[in-house]
Amino acid sequence: MKHMNKPVILTGLRANNNLHIGNYLGALLPIIDMARKRAGEYQVNLFVPDLHSFTTPIDHSALQAAIMQNLRVFVAAGLPLDNPDVHVYRQSYIPSHSELTWILDCFTGMGEMNRMTQFKDKAGKSQEQVSVGLFNYPVLMAADILLHRASYVPVGEDQTQHLEFTRDIAERLNNRFGELFVVPKPVQEQHKFFGKDQGLRIRDLQEPSKKMSKSEDSRRGIIYLTDTPGQAHKKIMSAETDSLGKVAYDAGTQPGISNLLTLLALISGRTLDDVQNEYEGRTQYGPLKTALADTMAEFLQDFQDKLAKVDEKSILNKLSVSEKQMNEQAGQVLLSVQKAVGLRE
Ligand code: TYM
């Protein structure tokens, strides 16, 4: 397969909850932009990490529907299914992901996983027993990336540490066994590739000191892609800001206002500079909120119109083609690892 030699851009979005605007802007929009603008130059893999869905407890009877909903969201967001360089798949349909995870587990230190801040956050918060799956899910994520030889992995800032671990484990095995893996580009280079100067962290509208997160309970602070335009409008108009009374971009002292500026830039497709030039120094927060609330409502209306029209049959067709091709692609990398560690001749 000739097109399999192109550099790979890859990302995945978990399916256990409604996707929100942070997921959309942090991962989905960058990869879809690439799939549309640079088609032909890259292989683009967008997948549903279904095995990642129950690192924390979920309602398993709802998982199939959630997976399909994620796939529909990918298409509504503009993923070109008819492009042969674009691949869409479910992780668990490619058993090499689990197999490589086990092998990588045996080369990963407990200390390395213990240092993952996301694990510490989630484990600290959870009242339930913490699973081994939650502890070592960055290893599964590394396998997701390395099996497909991905160079570029658009993710939000919360996943940066996992990406760095992926580079570490790839280099560790390459040093020991020869060139098994393509090492993903350093994080700074990735930002440059996706036209950013740093990792994206959309903040909760009610608690701007925290990231917008699907595991949070504060639903008023989260804009879901399935919120009605009216609901989203209201959430933005009642977003928490500060009492400084002057619009400025400074995530340290004015996280709420900085978040609104970032959101307005990204949703309207403008640069942050441009938005800052328009609003910075103003003493009223209302006009910024109104501009964002209107733009967001319009965006959601358009997105949901597209979502309602998504044809599931075309998704199922694409899945069956991609999953076959990706099994083959991942199988080749897995075999070279199996040989290196002595599992195969
Ligand atoms: P997940 O499903 O939690 O989130 C999906 C993507 O959304 C990004 N994101 C954000 N970006 C900006 N601001 C926010 N507030 C925000 N919240 C979430 C996440 O950084 C992520 O990019 N482990 C991954 C899924 C995964 C994966 C992979 C990603 C599994 N295997 C391989 C890339 C490559 C996760 O749990 O993301």
Domain containing residue 243: CATH number: 1.10.240.10
Helix (H/G/I), strand (E/B), else coil: 235:
helix
* Number of Cβ atoms within 10 Å of the Cβ of 78: 14
Site to probe by mutation for ligand 1, drawn from 8, 20, 23 as the one with most ligand atoms within 8 Å of Cβ, is 23
Q: Which residue has the higher pLDDT, 144 or 16?
A: 144
Q: Which residue has the higher pLDDT, 154 or 121?
A: 154
For residue 222, pLDDT beyond 50: yes
pLDDT in tens, 153-180: 999 999 999 999 999 999 999 999 999 9
Residues 262, 155: one domain? no
Residues 69, 133: one domain? yes
Q: What is the domain count for the chain?
A: 2
List the one residue out of 89, 13, 28, 17 whose CA is nearest residue 303: 28
Residue 212 in any domain: the answer is no
Residues 91, 158: one domain? yes
For residue 39, pLDDT beyond 80: no
Mean pLDDT across the stretch 273-278? Answer: 96
Residue 79 in any domain: the answer is yes
**At 123, is the pLDDT very low, low, confident or very high (cuts 50, 70, 90)?**
confident
For residue 183, pLDDT beyond 50: yes
What are the residues whose beta carbons fall under 8 Å from the beta carbon of 5, sequence distance 6 or more?
Answer: none
Residue 220 in any domain: the answer is no
List the one residue out of 244, 341, 239 whose CA is nearest residue 292: 239
Which residues have C-beta atoms less than 6 Å from ligand 1?
10-14, 22-23, 26-27, 49, 52, 141, 144-145, 153, 155-156, 158-159, 200-202, 211-213
Tell me the residue type at 173: L
pLDDT value for 4: 64
pLDDT value for 206: 96
Residues 76, 180: one domain? yes
pLDDT in tens, 261-270: 999 999 999 9
Residues 292, 326: one domain? no
Rounded to the nearest integer, the mean pLDDT of the chain is 94
The dihedral region occupied by 281, where left means phi > 0, alpha psi between -120 and 50, and beta the remainder, is left
Residues 175, 292: one domain? no
pLDDT in tens, 40-50: 999 999 999 99
Q: What's the 246 CA to ligand 1 centre distance in angstroms?
A: 32
pLDDT in tens, 297-334: 999 999 999 999 999 999 999 999 999 999 999 999 99
pLDDT value for 61: 96
Q: Which residue has the higher pLDDT, 124 or 9?
A: 9
pLDDT value for 124: 76
Atom of ligand 1 nearest to the CA of 14: 2
Residues 172, 254: one domain? no
For residue 260, pLDDT beyond 70: yes
| Alpha helices (H) in the chain, listed in sequence order | 21-23, 29-37, 63-76, 96-105, 110-114, 117-125, 132-146, 160-177, 187-193, 229-237, 255-268, 272-279, 286-309, 312-340
For residue 240, pLDDT beyond 70: yes
Residue 207 in any domain: the answer is no
Residue 263 in any domain: the answer is yes
Residue 269 in any domain: the answer is yes
pLDDT value for 126: 62
CA distance 26 to 196: 11
pLDDT value for 218: 67
Residues 157, 125: one domain? yes
Indicate which CATH number applies to the domain containing 336. 3.40.50.620
Residue 1 in any domain: the answer is no
pLDDT value for 2: 44
Residues 34, 174: one domain? yes
Residue 291, domain extent: 229-307
> Closest residue (by CA) to atom 19 of ligand 1?
156
Task: Give catalytic residue positions.
Answer: 122, 211, 214
Residues 47, 127: one domain? yes
Residue 215 in any domain: the answer is no
> Closest residue (by CA) to atom 18 of ligand 1?
23
Atom of ligand 1 nearest to the CA of 24: 7
Q: What's the 232 CA to ligand 1 centre distance in angstroms?
A: 22
pLDDT value for 204: 97
For residue 3, pLDDT beyond 80: no
